[in-house]
Amino acid sequence: MNAAKYIWMNGKFINWDDAKVHVLSHTIHYGNGVIEGTKAYKTEKGYAIFRLNEHTTRLKESAKMTLIDIPYSVEEMNQAQIDLIKKNDFVGDNVYIRPFAFLGYGVMGVYHKDAPVETVMSAWEWGAYLGEDGLKNGIRLKIASMTRAANTSSMGKAKATANYLNSQMAKYEAIDCGYDEALLLDDQGYVAEASGACFFMVKHGELITPPNDNSLASITQKMVIEIAEFLDIKVTRRRITREEIYVADEAFLTGTAAEITPVANVDAREIGCGSRGPMTEQIQTMYFDIVFGRCETFEHYLTYID
Ligand code: PMP
């Protein structure tokens, strides 16, 4: 990874290499931590963080769900991220920001009420998550053999570190089988989400994406729905089955890191033209116009760093 200069930890900036934790930190053993994934784009007017307040609010809400009491307000954490981008003097690529709250050192055993809460904001330069070629030509998706953890035994709306074991197993399997990314179904066989992104398909000119019944409430998915409304594209939120995907006209993934990544192939079935479809391209183009500050209508989603 591209190391940066500073990390914000519990209210102070420290050198990147000094941001360390004890091996007996509670989260390392029992997996209760919450994260965000936020992005700052290098626009013509300098770096701008996309939908900052929504990401930070989701962090705070994820923490509430998993009983982690973050001792900072959303406003304080927003400011920490703005200061972090300023202080690191990034010059090259777009920047990924990783807000993180976890349980530190001092208490062992599953019961975590007395474990200290540590709050950290890191940021580093990071290119396209699924590759530049993926953004242009599409990726190959494998439906995972494991289903997404059920709502009866996990909290999928929390962006909780614990949920990523499920994602990690699915992603590893997909790559090991020669694919680029995994799509997880829910325990009823309907599309839940990819290992780190949400799913859209196009059929007969209509954009279809599942409700967030068994997925993270994705901020990028919400943005795509707003873009579609702006472009007069019909959007339907309903459950999707595996075989519907195989005969979709187009498909793509959405996420802060994945951005708008076309899906060229699912389980050895070519999707549509087997590359980026026309509606995907239209939405992707507008998404990049928005995040790079080239679209006045949605410029309010950007927090410019001066
Ligand atoms: N689902 C999962 C499991 C994710 O990790 C992500 C990435 N944060 C998403 C969906 C997409 O969410 P967002 O658009 O808010 O980044």
- The answer as to whether 198 is a domain residue is yes
Distance 189 CA to ligand 1 centre (A): 20
- Using a pLDDT cut of 90, give the percent of the chain over it: 95
DSSP letter string, 188-250: TSBEEEESSSEEEEEETTEEEE--GGGS---HHHHHHHHHHHHTT--EEE---BHHHHHT-SE
Q: Are residues 264 and 154 in the same domain?
A: yes
Q: Are residues 65 and 164 in the same domain?
A: no
Is residue 157 part of the annotated active site? The answer reads no
pLDDT band at 131 (very low <50, low <70, confident <90, very high): confident
- 146-175 mean pLDDT: 97
CATH number at residue 275: 3.20.10.10
The protein residue with its alpha carbon nearest to ligand 1, atom 3, reads 196
Check residue 248 and give its pLDDT. Answer: 98
What is the tally of structural domains in the chain? 2
Q: Are residues 101 and 141 in the same domain?
A: no
Q: Are residues 120 and 139 in the same domain?
A: no
Q: Exactly one of 159, 203, 222, 234 is catalytic; name it.
A: 159
Q: Are residues 97 and 162 in the same domain?
A: no
- Ligand 1, pocket-test mutation among 61, 147, 169, 216, most atoms within 8 A of CB: 216
- 192-201 mean pLDDT: 98
Pairing type for strands 139-143 and 181-185 reads: parallel
Q: Are residues 147 and 47 in the same domain?
A: no
Q: Residue 252 forms beta bridges with which residues?
A: 200, 262
Q: How far, in Å, CA of 41 to CA of 290, rounded? A: 10
- The answer as to whether 151 is a domain residue is yes
Q: Reply yes or no on whether the pLDDT at 90 is more than 90.
A: yes
Query: Which atom of ligand 1 is nearest the CA belonging to 156?
Result: 3
Q: Are residues 103 and 140 in the same domain?
A: no
Asked which of 70, 91, 125 is the last residue of a domain, the reply is 125
Distance 106 CA to ligand 1 centre (A): 31
DSSP three-state, residue 9 = strand
Q: How far, in Å, CA of 163 to CA of 25, rounded? A: 19
- The mean predicted confidence, pLDDT, of the chain is 97
The Cα diameter of the chain in Å comes to 57
CATH number at residue 14: 3.30.470.10
pLDDT band at 39 (very low <50, low <70, confident <90, very high): very high
| Predicted TM-score (pTM) above 0.75 | yes
Q: Are residues 224 and 98 in the same domain?
A: no
Q: Are residues 61 and 83 in the same domain?
A: yes
- The answer as to whether 299 is a domain residue is no
Q: Which residues line ligand 1 (CB under 6 A)?
A: 37, 167, 193, 196-198, 215-216, 218-221, 254-256
Query: Which atom of ligand 1 is nearest the CA belonging to 198?
Result: 10
Asked which of 125, 143, 175 is the last residue of a domain, the reply is 125
Per this entry, what is the length of the chain? Answer: 306
Q: Reply yes or no on whether the pLDDT at 171 is more than 90.
A: yes
Q: How far, in Å, CA of 78 to CA of 303, rounded? A: 10
Parent domain of 238: 132-291
Distance 218 CA to ligand 1 centre (A): 5
DSSP three-state, residue 285 = helix
Query: Which atom of ligand 1 is nearest the CA belonging to 220?
Result: 14
Distance 157 CA to ligand 1 centre (A): 10
More confident residue, 284 or 130: 284
Q: Are residues 63 and 173 in the same domain?
A: no
- The answer as to whether 32 is a domain residue is yes
Check residue 173 and give its pLDDT. Answer: 98
Residue 106 tokens, joined: 């001092």
Asked which of 95, 125, 155 is the last residue of a domain, the reply is 125
Q: Are residues 117 and 144 in the same domain?
A: no
Q: How far, in Å, CA of 258 to CA of 139, rounded? A: 11
Q: Other C-beta atoms within 10 Å of 100: how many? A: 18
Distance 191 CA to ligand 1 centre (A): 15
- The answer as to whether 165 is a domain residue is yes
Query: Which atom of ligand 1 is nearest the CA belonging to 257?
Result: 16
What are the tens digits of pLDDT across the range 216-234?
999 999 999 999 999 999 9
Q: Are residues 118 and 196 in the same domain?
A: no
